[in-house]
Amino acid sequence: MDRAKSKRIRNIRVIATNLFMSLSVIVIVFILMFFAMGFTFNEEGKLEQAGLAQFVSNPSGATVEIDGKSQFGHTEMSKMLSGGYHDVKISKSDYDTWTKRLRVDSGLLTRIEWIRLFPNNPEINDVATFNDLRLATFSPNRKKLITIEKNSNKITIADIQNDYKTTQIDLDEALSTTSNNALTGTLSITAWNDNNTRFIMKWVRDSKISWHLVDLEHNENSTNLSNIFNLAFDSILVENDSASKLWALENGNLRIIDANNHTISSVFATNIEKVANNRDVAAFIHKDGDDRNLSIYKEGEKGYTAITKINNASDDVTVKLAMGTYWNENWLAYTINKRLYILGGRYPSYGRDKASSLKTKLERDINYLPQLMSVNFNQRVIVVSGDNQLTSYDTETKDCYDVELAAPLSNINWLDNYLIWQKTENSIYTRDFDGDNRRMIIADANNPFPVVITENNRWLYYFDVTEEETATDATNKTPSDSVPVSPTETAIRYTLKRKKLQ
């Protein structure tokens, strides 16, 4: 027996086996990667790349139907789907149905996280009553209700998440006034800090405007900003999480306020007509000779960076402006008359970056003059509106939607993070930001105050208004035809109600 030849044969077999196993592993890994990237064979045997659709609903546990076929599993769930359009229906017993014609992009994740199902027969409770209201507004995080009754010197803060617990702070102290002046004029909340513990309040009375930083947890830290700095501010924006720093626009000049130390910076830019901010970065429209410019300034830098020139300095040009961050990408949105621009990327730094660090994501005409611009709470969706129309842009999917409205919006009101509500013909309707799933949620809505779904998705809060006649002093009242008269006056009573959603 030739031992050398036998050894060579064994070595060849071992090498061949190892090569086969290595190639098999490579092929298996390649196939797994291939399928992980969404590549599959369709019904015709052709290779195509699918996309992943993720469905999140409130309440969860809903049935998912795609292209007429019920899916295994319930929301929250994910499903690989071929690129293109698919008809989706989400349903649950005792709730209404949500539908959408969904576009799935090959090789990409599409997250549909705004699916809202409303109960068919919800439990409704009266929560609180108010003897006429001067102010009522919900915090952006949908956890608090702020109310001020007429002829009251108290601000009431209610926890609307669970048991409706209330606390009160002194309105005179919050506005830094020692007389009954706080009972006069109009109050509005214009900006909040991130955790919704402090807000900016605008107080208008006798043609005088004053600005106040109100601290809901420590009222002694509330500040009358107008009195401290003796300046006529046009607007004040919150600059950081705690609202210890603020952007201030006065007489067209941009400054930063240190609210803790009661100091104000020198002027960063002049001739400003409109300003928006994303924390410590401000974008503003300002006149420069015969032109308007859009520029960006970062706190602490020596100057600002021009983004674009608006070649129209006439007074009739309409400009809207907003900015934010979604998934670590900064964005800047603005309109010039009937044209909408969305830029995304990184805000430029003065002297180091060019304006091109922000790339154009969308530039298109809209067939109406925008009157409103708003951003949802997580800064994913940008909405502009005017006339009977609405345009929304999803910064994640880069989709843009045009929506026809039954009536013009007086304000862009968010019911939750993705739904917009509107009062039409004495009822409250809601729709997804993309215009789909328009539904009536309140049949009788005869009041001007807001509607909201709480952050924990348990309750829908709204106000009901009743007029009550009450007896008044009969002095100087003249009876008619010698019949005694019981003088009355009409009092407006507001009842806060809530519907149980799940």
**Region of residue 163 (left: phi > 0; alpha: psi -120 to 50; beta: else):** alpha
User: Mean pLDDT in the chain?
Assistant: 89
33 plus 92 within the same structural domain? no
227 plus 313 within the same structural domain? yes
Q: How many domains does the chain have?
A: 3
357 plus 334 within the same structural domain? yes
Tokens of 305: 């960076």
pTM of the full structure: 0.86
CA distance 23 to 20: 5
Tell me which residue of 197, 100, 104 sits closest to 146, measured CA to CA: 197
Pick the more confident residue, 195 or 467: 195
pLDDT digits (tens, 9 = 90+) for 88-141: 999 999 999 999 999 999 888 999 999 999 999 999 999 999 988 999 999 999
Q: Which domain holds residue 275?
A: 124-442
pLDDT the model gives residue 1: 53
79 plus 130 within the same structural domain? no
- Counting Cβ atoms within 10 Å, is residue 442 exposed (0-12), middle (13-18) or buried (19+)? buried
> DSSP secondary structure string, 178-216?
SSGGGGSSEEEEEEE-TTSSEEEEEEEETTEEEEEEEES
CA distance 311 to 321: 17
57 plus 129 within the same structural domain? no
168 plus 303 within the same structural domain? yes
Q: How confident is the model at residue 312 (pLDDT cuts 50, 70, 90)?
A: low
pLDDT at position 53 over 90: yes
pLDDT at position 429 over 90: yes
pLDDT the model gives residue 487: 55
pLDDT the model gives residue 27: 56
pLDDT digits (tens, 9 = 90+) for 357-388: 999 999 999 999 999 999 999 999 999 999 99
Q: Is residue 340 part of a domain?
A: yes
pLDDT digits (tens, 9 = 90+) for 139-158: 999 999 999 999 899 999 99
Q: Tell me the one-letter amino acid at 463.
A: F
> DSSP secondary structure string, 108-139?
SEEEEEEEE--BSS--EEEEEEEESEEEEEE-
Picking from 70, 96, 116, the residue at the C-terminal end of a domain is: 116
Residues 411 and 372: beta-carbon distance below 8 Å: yes
pLDDT the model gives residue 2: 65
- Of the chain, the percentage scoring pLDDT greater than 90 comes to 74
CA distance 211 to 202: 5
CATH code at 104?
Answer: 2.60.40.1120
Q: How confident is the model at residue 466 (pLDDT cuts 50, 70, 90)?
A: confident
CATH code at 229?
Answer: 2.130.10.120
